[in-house]
Structure 1
Amino acid sequence: MVLNFKAKTANSGASTFSPNGLTAKAVVGLGQAALQGGEIVANGMCNVIYSATLDKWVLYESSGGAQQVAAATKSLHSVQAAQIQAGTGLYVAGTGGANVYAAAYTPVITALTDGMQLRFKALTANTGASTFSPNGLTAKAIVGLAQAPLQGGEIVAAGTCTVVYSLALDQWVLTSCSGGDLQVSPATQSQHAVQLGQAQSMFSSIVGSMRNAKMNIATAAASGTFTADEIIVESALGGQAYRLANFSKVINLATTGAGGMDTGVAPASGFVSIYAIYNPATQTAALLACNQTTSSGNVYTGANMPSGYTASALVSAWGTTAGSLLSIGSQVDRQINVALATILSTTTAQTSTAVNISSIVPIATREISGIFQSSGNATGTTHTVGLAAATGVVGTRSSGGTSYAAGASVQTAYGGLSLGTVQTVYFTSTVAGGTLSQAAAYLSAYTI
């Protein structure tokens, strides 16, 4: 039975209908549920159908009133307000494992559209780059708000995740996950959120800073192990900084790429610069050697950085043998101790003579240490020997004395002599009351 009537008043909740004084029966909506209020308005034209099965009147339509519908289960169904509020069809408990996320939505999602937003409860936390697949569709990478792969910790177990599909990226953008870390783009304005890496670079030590750095080559060899409690590397001078803790890596001059030479072979009887390098995407560290003429500054500037490695720091500069092996030596922090090498040995007085020491120290050398030795030809001969950072007496280190017997020498250690000119020192020797038997300066260590 179908009846039409003009409602006198609006309903405010569950309602009944009685035609011609018959027993009043409950009025339900198209969802076959009791009316909630607002489905019938004053003066609205109502159409009701009696259902013997339900023994109720079904409100088919009511002009001006809200329409009750059944809960949507397919993509073209009308959706109840409660479903929207509850996120039905947009939020489900996720499946899958760490870094591989999936979810089954109802109605079933059959295709991705630009800007589609979905929510899911993560089953597990992510430990790195991750993907998401709704309803068995092809898994797409998840990126953060910086549009970079996830690093780990952005998704936590039982976290509520919101992802938006970007057609341009063909990736899911994780806009939020309760309890997870939030990826952001690098801050460029004063009120922008700051990345951890940026904050670390603001307050970190200078590139190349090291704690308890060591390398020891007891016998000339192609390889050696460099260790440090911590090293600071940067993408460029003043760039993104990273702290590498518990560093222990091997450098092998017989290979190329990460852990070896940047390209080609090691120089013979020369020097190699050794860099700590870092790949932020994989969080992998390594050592890289190169001919010192390729790069000898605080960060690697050569053209053959291994793929993915974007940060570096000079951690050593080491001599090589005629066979392109690492020479005997021992490094502590930034000082490299080597076999005693002659800077200059003479029997004549000299005044601020420039001495090129490129054969015994690398380009990266900042300071040298060693031994002075001098002697006269007779008892009472006074003699001195010294080195300076620049011509004249700038930064002079010197030694001398008076011979107590002919040929008796005076030997003194010196240290911390800064080089004002790359691979160059200035030598001075004096004598009085006789002639010089020897005035010599030797190198035992250099600091980079």
Structure 2
Amino acid sequence: MLYSRGVKFLDYPNIVRLNPAIPWKTRGNGAVALRLLVESEDSINDIWELARSMLDEYSGVFRDSKKQPGLILHIGDIPWFFKFIAEKALYDLVPLELVDRLLVKSNSTRVYSPSGRRGLIGAVAAVGCTMETSDHTYELLAYRKQEYWGSRRCVSEESVIAVDREYGDYLILNYDYEYGRVLITPRGPDPVLLGLRGEDPIVLLEAYKKLEICEPVEYTCLFRTNQHTDAHLHSVDSICSIRPYMCVKVNGIVSSRPVRIPGGHVVFKICSGGCCIDVAAYEPTKSFRDIVEKLRDGDLVEVMGCTRPPSSRHGLTINLEKIVVREVARVVEYVNPKCPRCGGTMESVGRGKGFRCRRCGYRDQYASKTPVYVERDLKPGIYEPPRIAFKHLMKPISRFGREKRVFSGVLVDGFIQRVG
């Protein structure tokens, strides 16, 4: 549709994932931006009307009173406040009133919000988040024919495994080998059949051709995105500066031994700068909780995740995504002393009455428990949950050191293809 209107893509379509802690977010809290070179004012008007009609159509099919989709069209250079909103919307709460005030100042921006204006926050953020000099990845989405929406997706699990093994580190989180689950197929009734994620657009196009898909595909589109980059994690110097709904990474000292509570969640506390905060590894993180349970008082850690506000049952809490164990504290246990006569283990006679040997009967009223340093079953390092627990923005350890810092602007042929 766009090509027939004399349009040239300046970038792949962008998927921009925003703060996943926002309570009224959509499921993936994502927004899409198209960056286009357009021939004429008439083409701009045509594109605007096309976008509005498609938004109305899609919103009608997937109507939800809690969702407030928003659409903007901006002409020319991107204003500074679009970039400001984009940065803040990744990790913090952005008031709609602020976005409304700033949009009024832009004469080059058209706005459409058919059912509430909250979606305009994401629309502005998507335009402002250009990812020209920040880390990014790619995702190839295949879309279903409408008559298949809501039905079980038909993609061969064996072919997903084969593709994932063939292309290795060029792909990102497409299969969970620990739990045997395909991760490229969503579970909702939306039009997406699958999303193949990776580092290189050419590799994604090649890998997609090797998937065995047993239902018709309407079209495919290759996106550039901030998914799996940790773009939402904002470094803070002190726990004292953390607010509800922020996504942060912060250093602290473990001040309470982790406890597994009803529901299978593991909770502990860290402190720094005179402030403390709860940290929780939830049941869906599976084996990650076993690592968290090995923490002890005095361990120096960096925790990464988004915060939930306090309630009557818990304080301000970081939902743990990854953890860096920087230093492990020396743990001391006090054990009963050995008998100097026979080497047996002595037992307490009573408070302040000393110890007696169980084996030979030797007594020492001045003996006391002996301190023993316990070897820790936790080493310094970075730890993450299994693949099944990863959300859109979370960066796997396998991507550390592979970050991209520039986008060339060169697009591969066939990044949008109508199939059926």
TM-score between both structures, scaled by the size of structure 2 = 0.24
More strand by share: 1
More helix by share: 2
TM-score between both structures, scaled by the size of structure 1 = 0.23
Higher RCO (CA-CA < 8 Å; seq separation 6+): 2
